[in-house]
Amino acid sequence: MTAQPPAILTMTGISKEFPGVRALDNVDFRLFPGEVHALMGENGAGKSTLIKVLTGVYGIDAGTVVLQDRPVNFHAPSQAQQAGVSTVYQEVNLCSNLSVAENIFLGRQPRRLGRIQWSVMNRRAAELLKRLELNIDVTRQLSTYSLAVQQLVAIARAIDIDAKVLILDEPTSSLDADEVAQLFRVMRQLKSEGVALLFVTHFLDQVYEISDRITVLRNGRLVGEYPTAELPQLELISLMIGKELADLEKLEEQPKRPISAVETGQPFIQAQGVARTGAVAPFDLSLHPGEVVGLAGLLGSGRTETARLFFGADRADQGQFLVDGAPVAIRGPMTAMSKAIAFCSENRRTEGLVGELTVRENIILALQAARGWTRPLSRKRQDELVDRYIRTLQIRPANPEAQVRNLSGGNQQKVLLARWLITEPRLLILDEPTRGIDVGAKAEIQKLVVELSDGGMAVLFISAELEEVLRLSHKIAVLRDRRVVTELVNDDTVDADRIMNAIASGAGRPADHLVAGPSDTDEVAA
Amino acid sequence: MSTAELTASRRTWRDWVPTKQLPVLVTLALFGLMYGVGVLQYRGFSDTQVFLNIFIDNGFLLVVAVGMTFVILTGGIDLSVGSVVALSTMVSSSLLTEKGWSPYLVMAVVLAIGSVLGFLMGCMIHYFDIQPFIVTLAGMFLARGLCYIISTDSIPINDKTWVAIADYKFRMGNYRLSVSAVVALVVLAIAVWILSYTKFGRNVYAVGGSEQSALLMGLPVSRTKIAVYTISGFCSALGGMLLTFYTLSGYGRGAIGLELDAIAAVVIGGTLLTGGSGYVLGTMVGVCVLGIIQTLITFQGNLSSWWTKIFIGVLLFAFIMLQRVIRLGRKT
Amino acid sequence: GDGEGGSGGGGADDGQIVLGFSQVGAESGWRTANTDSIKKSAEAAGIKLQFSDAQQKQENQIKAIRSFIQQKVDVIAFSPVVESGWDTVLKEAKDANIPVILTDRAVDSQDTSLYKTFLGSDFVKEGKLSGEWLVEQYKGKTDPVNIVELQGTTGSAPANDRKKGFADAIAAAPNLKVIASQTGDFTRAGGKQVMEAFLKAHKDIDVLFAHNDDMGLGALEAIEAAGKVPGKDIIIITIDAVKDGMQALADGKFNFIAECSPLLGPQLMDLVKKVHAGEAVEPRIVTEETTFTQEQAKAALPNRQY
Amino acid sequence: MSVTTVIRHRFFWPVLALVVLLVSNVFFTPDFFKLEVRDGHLYGSLIDILRNGAPLILVATGMTVVIATGGIDLSVGSVVAIVAGLACYYISKQPDQNAVSGVLTAVALGLGLALLLGLWNGVLVAGIGIQPIVATLILMVAGRGLAQLITGGQIITINSDPYDLIGAGYLFTVPFAILVALFVVFLAVLLTRRTALGMLIESVGGNAEASRLAGIRSRRITIMVYVFCAFCAGIAGLMVSSDVSSANGNDAGLWIELDAILAVVIGGTSLLGGRFSIAGTVLGALIIQTLTTTIYTTGIPPEVTLLFKALVVTIVCLLQSPAFRAKVFRGRRRPVAPPATPASEEPKVEVPA
Ligand SMILES: Nc1ncnc2c1ncn2[C@@H]1O[C@H](COP(=O)(O)OP(=O)(O)OP(=O)(O)O)[C@@H](O)[C@H]1O
Ligand SMILES: Nc1ncnc2c1ncn2[C@@H]1O[C@H](COP(=O)(O)OP(=O)(O)OP(=O)(O)O)[C@@H](O)[C@H]1O
Ligand SMILES: [Mg+2]
Ligand SMILES: [Mg+2]
């Protein structure tokens, strides 16, 4: 096509097979300097695999890679890095036992006379993060920060490496609009410096906002390469999903029941003055059967921590919960589950799945835990349940005996969701359930939430995508600085702007006594 | 607002106690407590030389434990250290006494043998993806077997240089430190420096934190992993040499079970066996704790053999419990 | 250490002799009996015993001896874990004017002034006595005699020495041949397992020589399970003469035992007193030991204390 | 089943190692595989291997589940010695050592104590949160002393026919010890695979935090596995003491923890926890016992024994390592490029056949 600058990276005829799965089949891919190239495809289409094959994480079965006119064959990510390819992989791959600054500079620490200069490193790390509008204590251990911060740190690390090619595999999956904007600003600047950017995301608006060119993969095969400007959104979706446009109409959203129809009778669960020192300030929140309550707030505002209290993942040290009007001490996940509460964590890799176990085992895990080890689910029953949810959520590969760790990121998320759905909870807490999920599946999940709530299930819904929260929730609790600042009934008057206003001018001051706890958080310049 | 201001304004008293170093500090405090008990309980315990003797008597253990710290920080383990220590005592003594080699050449050979063994184990662990426990267990059998091949008897060392080194004392007023104690402290200092001020040292922590992440971050994982086992092999060989300064002999059945002492010292010093967290200075405190337990028992002087073991167990238990209680107490 | 003079006699305030004793460990019944005997006789002799267990580690023994020196005991006695490497610490003891007595095993120091005396059994001799008895049994016969040997823990002194003594003795009779030799770690279980394997691998075993009674006792069970009669089909020679071993000998299951007595407490206390008083003592004192045949065992068994 | 499915089976290499070891014995002992009935019971080298391996099989089975939770139990050797000591001590104090009731009480006492010791380990690990290796190191050291305390550092010899049955007796011509080991292994398999326990253990070992958030009572499970492990070690203790009709506090079970861990790993269970295989462990234990027996029968001198052991362990582990097989058997397909100049590499295109 445009033959003006020669491609910096050309991949031809790439194939990659895992035992039982053909992840890539004769895929071609080109990347030009000074462009943002979006790699699109459904969950499991092979996007991450293509990236890993390129950077030497996996060996290539067949095909050639040419970087700057020279054929390359990397055997380790370090080689790719040295050749000028810098990568942010899909799951956050940092060392959470080290400080933020170290994570950014590992392997490239500023040194004098062979001695690492810690103060220089910390200063530069802070400066670098400020470029992404992140003001945090960089000497703190990375694990004390939320996933979103970790994602930003990974990005900071990648962009600081002086690279000719920058690969970002779903960097925005846990980021809020603000952070995304910052990231895009940085990406544009790099682009203007002639860096070639490869960008993977499931957010279509982001694709159209930033990318110049799109390559679509489906089932490990190349569908085609298109200039973004010439590819309408719906057509892109149909290319990814491989269905006709007409079929997509089904994914259109359904009308939501009005709140008056939901908030009747006794709430299923009520939080009264619940709080946890150093984590969340006292708050009240109630959920009725069939009600979807969204939590909105900026990154690190305490949505996750609030949700964890409902499940007993962390124990509340103030206030009380009423379930069906009766006080209940939620001491741990077991008590919560006995009250039919389910919690789908945002951090699927460390808090959700057991990578070594199979899809089937991961799905039945919570149900089995609730029954106790002496009453195993019969194999027949397991297969029934698992098959049903593999079909409903379109988990791929549709093999219940596949190891979960080998699934693509989005499919892992679906497995986690399935685990909680089969427990048939009365309250389902979904923390970023659509993180890393493709458009088709996302619509399915949203539809599912609506169906479930219609069926009488209460849902506590957290998402970095405000639109999603708005679309699904009957009521939205707005958080700021780990304090519930206001509660909005989601009627026609409420839109993204109003919520942003609520966040910005939120009623409460920052809770000073909270911010410096041991599980301290980042700050976001508002 | 600058970051510095931001963070400064948010500091509370908690921040003044360094969270990361806490396990080491707690261990140190408990060591002080035990020392105090010894001073109150036994005559002559307060003599500073008793304290220095801990280093003189355990110099070799300290060196071995320092090597072990590197390995454990990467999430591995090295069971071969005890046997490699024994092997180096055998190699030194047989080369010196039976072959009459020059002592400096012997030192070089011994250190080389240890490092090569460590290097080979590291390669097996990394390239063939075999669990460290098993590879080093095989290494343990191998080194011990080599000892017996050299001789099943103990071999004395009469070499002049060796004896001179063994007898040399650094004096500070009334107090003495042996060469091996000083060597051990130097090794410790070097290890502290490597682990906190070199790229390699930080890579050790990164690999221990998450090997996969380290790999994806483009760190030289293979080099790091192989290097830590080489270091451990080197330290074991050096430890074996220090042991020969202590005993002036080589014995194939020496240092049996030393690997457990070394691991215990590392872990008591606050390092996590899962890797990625800990300090080599903690290891020193761990060695001191083991040393003081031994000293207490010697001063006690009338424990029967089995009560000695039970007493060691009870002290270990008390120690670890206190460590836990103090740390938990801070968390909430 | 600084302080008052530091010559012998300053240990206990009441003029009681203080003996620092560093034991190898508690690795076997023999060793424990040894410890027991020393503790009991110290008490009987009115000697204050500072006991320390080295858990089979030379380092610990050196530490213990150093600590004895620091505590200014009157006499130091110890059973060395190994032969070599004692010069330094023994010199320290000598400088501090504390006499040293070796028990159970010798050290290989060139400078014999470092210790007053060595009280103990002679492992080589035990092996030799066993071998000589066997040679005697087959005197005048030329048929090949197949011997299997159960060794003690590899690298331990009794195993090395007994093996050597035995080999030296049977070298006199060319028809006696050790066809298999394996370690049974001085334990019954070890003896049993190894003997089982020997019985399968070698069809014509005439003699079993075990480095201690326990391995012999274990081997007994293996031999019986194989349908052979111990003491008849296979001649059994062992060392130690513990009660169970003597019983087997008296029952005709063993054929010969060379004694290795752990009960050297009384002798040791005598020596301690003499050494403390500055009397001259023999540099080498062999413990009173003997050998037993089946007949002798029957006679000796009733008053066997260990 | 095709040849490739056989070769691909995860037990292929360990089984091959076992077979090679067994067969190599034939060169030294021609009738190595011969089984005969002597004095009304089975007799032969294979039976010896099974019977002598029974304690190791037991301990390794217990160790497997502990390792599956990501833990380790160093104290099993001491538990073996304590239980052996206690049972024999009790029997030795009985007026009639042959009384079945006395023996049963001794067995119950021993196993009861084993359960308590396991509980102790479990509470230290799961309740107090001490690292398993240290928690069990405490009992490893102190327990050995305890065993010696019970036996007075001496060997307690007993003459009890009912007690002898456990380790040295026969039932239906088969050594009783083999039956006991089989039964416990069967029980373990049943408990872990017929209930959900196995999966929950693997989940805890695979990802402890995720398991907690899935509502698994990981604490309880962890305590349970340590109790089970000590129980297995306890039975092994009864077995070894009964085998030689005596208890030896100093030597019983010495270093058995290393052999057990080795067996577990040879059997394909990762020391990091997660997936476990009891069948694999039994296989591993048999390999180790066969190795020991082979050393005895082939007349390898004791000084070389350890070298030989190192060699075999290395070979077995190498064969088991997929990375090794990939690198060595199929040749290396991708030459390793020097990291600094990756771009100068010629592209290597391989098309899988
Ligand atoms: N290590 C592996 N072993 C086996 N199969 C794998 C492995 N890694 C990936 N796969 C399979 O390869 C296919 C492609 O996965 P990949 O991770 O590339 O998808 P993706 O396009 O990145 O999807 P997502 O949007 O969900 O991240 C999937 O079917 C996945 O199950
Ligand atoms: N398990 C934990 N341990 C320590 N600190 C934690 C933990 N979980 C959360 N935090 C801290 O608490 C802060 C509050 O984060 P939380 O995840 O609740 O916010 P959020 O609104 O969900 O934001 P995000 O969108 O980043 O997930 C986080 O920034 C993090 O630093
Ligand atoms: Mg992906
Ligand atoms: Mg969150």
Q: What is the pLDDT along chain B (332 residues), one digit of tens a residue?
A: 333 333 333 444 444 556 667 777 878 888 888 888 888 888 778 888 888 888 988 999 999 999 999 999 999 999 999 999 999 999 999 999 999 999 999 999 999 999 999 999 999 999 998 989 889 999 999 999 999 999 988 898 989 999 999 888 888 888 889 999 999 999 999 999 999 999 999 999 999 998 999 999 999 999 999 999 999 999 999 999 999 998 888 988 888 889 989 998 998 888 888 888 889 999 999 999 888 888 888 777 777 777 888 888 888 888 788 777 776 654 43
Please tell me the total count of domains within chain A: 3
Q: Using the Cα atoms of residue B298, residue B299, residue B301 and residue B304 in order, give the sign of their dihedral.
A: negative
- Average pLDDT of D194-212? 92
| pLDDT in the model for residue B206 | 95
Q: Cβ D292–C196 below 8 Å, yes or no?
A: no
Q: Which of C103, C111, C104, C118 is nearest to C86 (CA)?
A: C111
Task: Return the residue whose CA atom lies nearest to atom 15 of ligand 2.
Answer: A300
Q: Which residue has its alpha carbon closest to ligand 1 atom 9?
A: A406
Q: Give residue-wise pLDDT tens across range C155-179.
A: 888 898 999 999 999 998 888 889 9
Which residues are CB-neighbours of C80 under 8 A, at least 6 positions away?
C24, C58, C61, C86, C102, C104, C105, C106, C107
- In this complex, do D153 and B316 lie within 8 Å of one another by their Cβ atoms? no
Using the predicted structure, report yes or no on whether residue D347 has a pLDDT greater than 60: no
d(CA D134, CA D118): 14
Tens digit of each residue's pLDDT (9 = 90 or more) over A114-128: 899 999 999 999 999
Instruction: Determine the topology of domain B20-33+48-331 in CATH.
Output: ABC transporter involved in vitamin B12 uptake, BtuC (1.10.3470)
Give the closest of B133, B139, B324 to D130, CB-based: B324
- pLDDT of B328 reads 60
A243, A274, A300 - which closes a domain: A243
Compare A503 and A416 and report the one with higher pLDDT: A416
The shortest C-alpha distance from B280 to chain C (Å) reads 24
Say how many Å lie between the CA of residue B324 and the centre of ligand 2. Answer: 26
> End of a domain among A424, A442, A473?
A424
> Between D29, D38, D295, which is nearest C227 by CB?
D38
* B19 interaction partners in chain A (CB closer than 8 Å): 518
Q: What is the pLDDT of residue B327?
A: 64
CB A498 within 8 Å of CB A464? no
Amino acid at B66: V
Name chain B contacts of D310, Cβ cutoff 8 Å: 138-139, 141-142, 145
Nearest to B313 among D141, D271, D317 (CB): D141
Can chain D be said to touch chain C, i.e. do they have 3 or more Cβ pairs within 8 angstroms?
Answer: yes
Q: Assess whether the C-beta atom of A58 lies below 6 angstroms from ligand 1.
A: no
Q: Do A54 and A166 meet the contact criterion of CB atoms below 8 Å apart? A: no
Q: Could you give the CA distance from residue B121 to residue B107 in angstroms, rounded to a whole number?
A: 21
Which residues of A fall within a CB distance of 8 Å from D216? 365, 369
Taking the centre of ligand 2 as the mean of its atom positions, its distance from the CA of residue A325, in whole angstroms, is 29
* Lowest model confidence (mean pLDDT) among D107-121, D123-137, D210-224, D329-343: D329-343
Domain span at residue A298? 247-340+425-521
> Distance, CA A60 to ligand 1 centroid (Å)?
15
Question: Same domain for A420 and A430?
Answer: no
Higher pLDDT, A323 or A147: A323
| pLDDT value of residue B223 | 94
In this model, does residue A511 exceed pLDDT 50? no
Instruction: Choose one of A243, A272, A298: the last residue of a domain.
Output: A243
| Closest ligand 2 atom number to CA of residue A479 | 21
Domain ranges in chain D are 54-276
Mean pLDDT of D37-56: 86
pLDDT, tens digit, for every residue of C107-135?
A: 888 888 888 999 888 888 899 999 999 99
pLDDT of residue A492: 76
Query: How many angstroms separate the CA of residue A20 from the nearest CA in chain D?
Result: 14
Q: Pick the residue with more confidence: D188 or A175? A: D188
Looking at residue B8, its pLDDT comes to 36
The preferred substitution site among A40, A358, A408 for testing ligand 1, maximizing ligand atoms within 8 Å of CB, is A408
Least Cα distance to A29 among A48, A50, A44, A43 occurs for: A50
A398 lies in some domain: yes
Q: Are A324 and A446 part of one and the same domain?
A: yes
- Whether A206 is in the pocket of ligand 1, judged by its Cβ within 6 Å, is no
User: What local confidence, expressed as pLDDT, does residue C9 receive?
Assistant: 38
Cβ neighbours of residue C36 closer than 8 Å, sequence gap 6 or more: C265, D153
Size of interface C-D (CB pairs under 8 A): 100
How far apart, in whole angstroms, are the C-alpha atoms of residue D49 and residue D47? 5
The pLDDT value recorded for residue A83 is 92
Q: What ligand is nearest to the CA atom of residue A345?
A: 4
| pLDDT interval class at A177 (50, 70, 90) | confident
Q: Are B202 and A106 an interchain contact pair (Cβ–Cβ within 8 Å)? A: yes
Count the alpha carbons within 13 Å of A153 in the hemisphere toward its beta carbon: 35
Does the residue A347 lie in any domain? no
Chain A residues in contact with D203 by the CB 8 A cut-off are 354, 357, 361, 365
Q: Is the pLDDT of residue A2 over 80?
A: no
- Whether residue A388 is found in the same domain as residue A442: no
Q: Within 13 Å of residue D14, how many CA atoms lie on the same side as its CB?
A: 22
Does residue A15 sit in the same domain as residue A149? Answer: yes
* Closest residue to atom 25 of ligand 2, CA basis: A299
* Chains linked to C by 3 or more Cβ pairs within 8 Å: B, D
Centre of ligand 3 to C-alpha A46, Å, is 7
CATH number, domain containing residue A286: 3.40.50.300
Instruction: Determine whether the interchain pair D29/C201 forms a contact, defined as Cβ–Cβ distance below 8 Å.
Output: yes
The residue in chain D having the minimum alpha-carbon distance to the alpha carbon of residue C182 is: D302
ipTM score: 0.86
Q: How confident is the model at residue A224 (pLDDT cuts 50, 70, 90)?
A: very high
pLDDT above 80 (res C13): no
**How far, in Å, is the centroid of ligand 1 from the Cα of A93?**
16
Residue contact A376–D194, C-beta within 8 A: yes
B172 is written with which tokens? 């500070």
Please indicate whether residue A23, judged by its CB atom, sits closer than 6 Å to ligand 1: yes
Measure CA of the first residue to CA of the last residue in chain B; give whole Å.
31
Residue pair B132/D261 in contact (Cβ under 8 Å)? The answer is: no
Distance from C-alpha of B301 to C-alpha of C78, rounded to nearest angstrom: 14
pLDDT reading at C198 higher than 70: yes
Mark whether C and A touch (3+ CB pairs within 8 Å). Answer: no
Q: Is A411 in the pocket of ligand 1 (CB under 6 A)?
A: yes
Which range is least confidently modeled, A209-223, B88-102, D162-176, D197-211? Answer: D162-176
Residue A250, pLDDT > 70, answer no
* Interface check D318 vs B, CB under 8 A: yes
Contact across the interface for B134 and D317, Cβ inside 8 Å? yes
- Measured distance CA(D196)–CA(A374) in Å, rounded: 7
Q: List chain B domain ranges.
A: 20-33+48-331
pLDDT tens for A36-74 read: 999 999 888 999 999 999 999 999 999 999 999 899 999
Give the residue-averaged pLDDT of A253-276: 79
Q: Which ligand is nearest to the CA of A435?
A: 1
Chain D touched by B133 (CB under 8 Å): yes
Cβ neighbours of D88 in C, within 8 Å:
none
Nearest CA in chain D to B317: D138
CA distance D345 to chain C (A): 54
